[in-house]
Amino acid sequence: MGLWALSELGRFAFTFFDGWVGVTGSIAGAAAHLWIAFGLGLAIRARGDAADDSPPPSQAKARQNLSYDTIDGPIAAWADRHGLIFCTEVGGATRRFCYVSGDEHECFQISVEPPDGGIVAVDAWDVETEDDAELHQRWQVPAESIVEALDAALAQIAVWRSRLRSRPWGAQP
């Protein structure tokens, strides 16, 4: 890993950690979420995904034309209103995503794709759950409705947080 990559990883880790101290109210809680995110990144690499995260050439040109410019303002205002921090880049790629805490052992993510033909995709995902549930939902809305889609994603995460777990944390399947 080059010096630039380590620098970017450190910058991301600090931003992520600082944000989670505010969200979780404790350094220990923030450290746990940082460890989960870092561990997931290593697990993805260990799984053998390509080292080059750039899209295939056929998609690269199309992706260059897509921009978050028209939705960054509403995303930032929404995130501020909910006390969330939206990340804007990962691994040198422009992205929009934030993490939402569940209870002590759960973490969720909301991600936003750039508008394509005036349509925005908003996804809610599980990152880590007590019962290893695979949770995902997608909303595709006109760019003008981004705030409503983000509200729906946050509401869906609230439903997931209140679900009945099939097994308690740490119990073997």
β-pairing, 93-101 with 107-112? antiparallel
Range of 160's domain? 67-173
Which amino acid would we find at residue 140?
Q
47 versus 125: which is more confidently predicted? 125
Same-domain status, 100 and 155: yes
Same-domain status, 73 and 157: yes
pLDDT tens digits for range 5-57: 434 444 555 454 445 545 545 555 555 554 454 444 433 333 334 444 444 54
Which range has the worst mean pLDDT, 22-31, 75-84, 124-133, 161-170? 22-31
Domain contains 56:
no
Q: Which residue has the tokens 């549930």?
A: 133
Same-domain status, 71 and 151: yes
How far from chain centre, in Å, is Cα 34?
Answer: 12
Q: Rounded distance, CA 156 to CA 140, Å?
A: 15
Domain contains 57:
no
Domain contains 95:
yes
Same-domain status, 90 and 173: yes
Q: Which residue has the tokens 């404790």?
A: 26
Task: Report the pLDDT value the prediction gives residue 95, as an integer from 0 to 100.
Answer: 94
- 8 Å CB contact between 118 and 142: yes
Same-domain status, 123 and 79: yes
Domain contains 129:
yes
Same-domain status, 44 and 89: no
Looking at residue 167, what DSSP letter applies? S
Indicate whether 90 pLDDT > 80: yes
Q: Which of 120, 129, 140, 23 is nearest to 74 (CA)?
A: 120
Domain count for the chain, please give it: 2
Task: Report the pLDDT value the prediction gives residue 139, as an integer from 0 to 100.
Answer: 97
Q: How confident is the model at residue 86 (pLDDT cuts 50, 70, 90)?
A: very high
Same-domain status, 140 and 111: yes
What b-and-e string marks burial along 141-158, b requiring 16 or more CB atoms within 10 Å of the CB? bebebbeebbbbbbebbe
pTM given for the model:
0.61
